[in-house]
Amino acid sequence: MTAVAEGFPGVSKTSAVERRPSVTSRSDRFRLFFQPIAVVVIVAAVVIWALSSELNANERETLNLPTIMTLLGQHILITIVVSLLVVAIAVPLGIALTRPALKWLAPVFLAIANIGQAAPALGVIVLFFLWSGIEGLWAVAIPLVFYTLLPVLRNTMVGIQQVDRSLIDAGRGIGMSAGGVLMRVELPLAVPLILAGLRTALVLAVGTATLAFFVNGGGLGELIDTGYKLQLNSVMYVGAVLAIGLALLVDWLGGMAERWLAPKGAEQ
């Protein structure tokens, strides 16, 4: 997860960036290869096991295809809604905060976002629910947007700030407007970092979506909770494995996006 790597202050921040070509990119390639295989094997094994084993009436009630598909659908919907909202808010905000006129606001926003992320995800969801009384999708989506905003915001800002000053000057020198330089020089060069932040946000969103059932938002966490309350281990296993499989899949998709959506020549 890149957010953690980006969070290293001091020494390892620089060394982590410098080491990137060796250890990290090797392991990234390795993950992009073995992660989808792991997902398919694990999920297939559990589904086959769940379908072939003798289930009692209680287990049948939760472990049937329509219920699982509904919960899976809710889980995916939460992930998508949160990710889209995060991109829609964090990228423009990040761009705005790197413009000369608003630069002074950047530390304020980053400090707020940092404290927001220090708060426990579950606490944020529960507090929002108790305070607003909203239930369901939005009771999860709104607090999670605040919770996952930081990686994309920070990566957008860092991505734009790290663009070589001379490239911007060159752009201005050949007669491009400030907006033109932003759209055609700064943003394309920042895309790899923005995508890395997006991958982190996706993983945070799909992970915290397992907590959605606490505020009646559904999702795969509900299977785990049902299994826990009714003491049905099979239900817990299926819920947990599906949630893990989905998280690994989403992370893999994020990794593929990082790899294929970055403009050629701007790879990190």
Partner 1 sequence: MSLWQYVTERWDRLSLQAWLHLSGVVQCTILAAIIGVAVGIAVYRSPAGSAVATALSSTVLTIPSFALLGLLIPIVGLGVTPSVIALTLYGLLPIVRNTIVGLAGVDPAVTDAAKGIGMSRTGVLSRVELRMAWPAILTGMRVSAQMLMGIAVIAAYAKGFGLGSEVFSGLTRAGSANSLNQALAGTLGVVILALLLDGVFVLISRLTIPKGVRD
Among 206, 217, 218, 262, binds partner 1 (CB under 8 A): 206
User: Is 132 one of the binding residues for partner 1 (CB under 8 A)?
Assistant: no
User: Is 64 one of the binding residues for partner 1 (CB under 8 A)?
Assistant: no
User: Is 49 one of the binding residues for partner 1 (CB under 8 A)?
Assistant: no
User: Is 194 one of the binding residues for partner 1 (CB under 8 A)?
Assistant: no
- Least distance between partner 1 and beta carbon 253 (Å): 12
Would you give the end-to-end CA distance of the chain in angstroms? 16
Q: Which is nearer to partner 1, 186 or 258 (CB)?
A: 258
**Residue pair 124/146 in contact by the 8 Å Cβ criterion:** yes
Q: Which stretch binds partner 1 (CB under 8 A): 12-20, 58-66, 136-144, 159-167?
A: 12-20
Total Cβ atoms within 10 A of residue 156? 27
**Alpha carbons 42 and 186: distance in angstroms, whole number:** 42
- Least distance between partner 1 and beta carbon 145 (Å): 17
**Alpha carbons 229 and 56: distance in angstroms, whole number:** 16
Among 40, 105, 127, 261, binds partner 1 (CB under 8 A): 127
Q: Where are the beta strands (DSSP E) in the chain?
A: none
- What angle is formed at CA 198 by the lines to CA 86 and CA 156, rounded to 5 degrees? 80
Among 57, 101, 118, 174, binds partner 1 (CB under 8 A): 118
Per DSSP, the three-state class of 225 is helix
For 146, the token pair is 């605040």
Q: Contacts with partner 1: how many residues (CB under 8 A)?
A: 62
For 78, the token pair is 């939460």
User: Is 134 one of the binding residues for partner 1 (CB under 8 A)?
Assistant: no
**Alpha carbons 209 and 235: distance in angstroms, whole number:** 18
Q: Which is nearer to partner 1, 182 or 220 (CB)?
A: 220
Q: Which is nearer to partner 1, 8 or 49 (CB)?
A: 8
